Amino acid sequence: MLSQKTIDIVKSTVPVLEVHGVAITTTFYRNLFEAHPELLNIFNHANQEKGRQQNALANTVYAAAVHIDNLAAIIPVVKQIGQKHVSLGIKPEHYPIVGQYLLEAIKEVLGDAATDEIINAWAEAYGVIADAFIGIEEEMYVAAETQEGGWRFFKDFIIIDKVKESNNITSFYLQPADGSVLPSYEPGQYITVRVNIPGEQYLLNRQYSLSQAADLKSFRISVKKDDENNPEGKVSVHLHQNLNIGDKVEVSAPAGEFTLSKERNTPVTFISGGVGITPMMSMLETVTKSQPERAVSFIYSARTKNLHPFDQDIRSLMESLENGTYKTLYSEEGDGYITKEIIQEYAHLDGDVYVCGPVGFMEAMINHLLDIGLAKDNIHYEFFGPALNLNLK
């Protein structure tokens, strides 16, 4: 347990560190990767370049510090981040390394203001926060590997099929290279795909939602081909252009907490934009198979019809439902965007709503739902990339 004095020092220095938050974490990452370049096999370089990860880590360490005397309050956040860490294969031995470079960065940026007392208090606090993460992540690893067909860290998979779904989205069907069975997963979960791209110095990792209901035979991911000049797009371009049936990728076990609750049978609405449709496909297929009596609404927006994947699949799934509503809008073909009025007309506002898409899309959709009067607890969402602070009402 931390002493009251340590807690007081940590809490009183949070505002100072917040002011220097980005400088500290930028220094931290620079020094960390200089000393441990092997960690570049784990971190997303594109996020580093944009500074997104810097903010995510800084904000979370400070948020955890504010609750240092009651860490239970931030367990839900730790769990969500833990899912991402586990999907990337983060290990307990990584934590002291991160801690060491974080403390050194605090010292470097604050200079004389960082007294030994302050540094020691933060070292202790970081230890407590790290232990919370390590404990929760170990539980997640054990849960993943003790499932039938489960495993820890990465495993070789073979691409067994590659299917074009729209002008920019292609599905990849993946099976374990060792022929083993696959674990089940919750609709909405994602996997990390790790690839070794010729010419790249480090391995690259990306998370992709599983885009079909669990069937124990193969995983399906549906990948949007990004712009070739966007560093964020390297893995998607590699998958689209260079990887084909028979090629190998490494895959981690399904993770993530943006999942459809199968215990409920209240109406459910899926609202997605662009490639945000992928977790919705897994959820829709699961509801259709296991709860066809449940009222379902599926609202989707793409720029054009050519960019709309799974249209026929959704239509056939709708036919198996007793009460299915399907509405699509093509913004560049005169339909405009999903407005509050469209949501009021097509969504089931007496149940849960799941939202997935680009950040601007999600902000607009969630704010519409809040305006209409939906309770926050009934709105579920996930964005790709580090948890950004959405600008919500």
Q: How far is the CB of 178 from ligand HEM (least distance, A)?
A: 26
126 catalytic? Reply is: no
In the complex with ligand HEM, the residue whose CB is nearer, 24 or 42, is 42
First to last CA, the chain: 38
In the complex with ligand HEM, the residue whose CB is nearer, 62 or 346, is 62
Cα four-point dihedral sign 96, 78, 251, 45:
negative
Amino acid at 166: S
In the complex with ligand HEM, the residue whose CB is nearer, 60 or 209, is 60
In the complex with ligand HEM, the residue whose CB is nearer, 81 or 284, is 81
Contact by Cβ (8 Å): 132, 78: yes
**Which residue in the list 101, 124, 126, 137 is annotated as catalytic?**
137
Q: How far is the CB of 320 from ligand HEM (least distance, A)?
A: 34
Q: How far is the CB of 88 from ligand HEM (least distance, A)?
A: 5
List interacting residues with ligand HEM (CB under 6 A). Answer: 39, 42-44, 47, 53, 56-57, 60-61, 81, 84-85, 88, 90, 94-95, 98, 129-130, 133, 386-387
In the complex with ligand HEM, the residue whose CB is nearer, 188 or 386, is 386
Q: How far is the CB of 344 from ligand HEM (least distance, A)?
A: 31
| Strand-pair category, 204-209 with 296-302 | unpaired
Closest residue by Cα to residue 300 from 290, 310, 291: 310
Q: How far is the CB of 284 from ligand HEM (least distance, A)?
A: 24
95 catalytic? Reply is: yes
Residue 55 vs residues 52, 63, 114, 230, 317: alpha-carbon distances, Å: 5, 12, 21, 20, 41
Contact by Cβ (8 Å): 210, 189: yes
CA angle 254, 260, 261 (to 5 degrees): 115
Classified as helix, coil or strand, 198 is coil
Q: How far is the CB of 384 from ligand HEM (least distance, A)?
A: 9
DSSP string of 150-203, one letter each residue = --SSEEEEEEEEEEE-SSSEEEEEEEETT-PPPPP--TT-EEEEEE--TT-SS-
Closest residue by Cα to residue 289 from 222, 352, 215: 215
Closest residue by Cα to residue 86 from 259, 279, 257, 253: 253
Residue whose tokens read 């009222």:
295
Q: How far is the CB of 123 from ligand HEM (least distance, A)?
A: 12
Question: What is the rounded distance in angstroms from the CA atom of residue 252 to the CA atom of residue 157?
Answer: 10
What order do you get walking across the sheet with 154-164 strand by strand?
204-209, 190-195, 248-252, 154-164, 169-176, 219-224
Question: What is the rounded distance in angstroms from the CA atom of residue 145 to the CA atom of residue 151?
Answer: 4
In the complex with ligand HEM, the residue whose CB is nearer, 137 or 285, is 137
Question: What is the rounded distance in angstroms from the CA atom of residue 240 to the CA atom of residue 165?
Answer: 12
**Which residue in the list 29, 95, 126, 354 is annotated as catalytic?**
95
In the complex with ligand HEM, the residue whose CB is nearer, 90 or 284, is 90
Q: How far is the CB of 7 from ligand HEM (least distance, A)?
A: 17
Residue nearest to ligand HEM (CB): 44
In the complex with ligand HEM, the residue whose CB is nearer, 127 or 292, is 127
Question: What is the rounded distance in angstroms from the CA atom of residue 223 to the CA atom of residue 393?
Answer: 31
Question: What is the rounded distance in angstroms from the CA atom of residue 272 to the CA atom of residue 255?
Answer: 20
User: Which positions are annotated as active-site residues?
Assistant: 95, 137
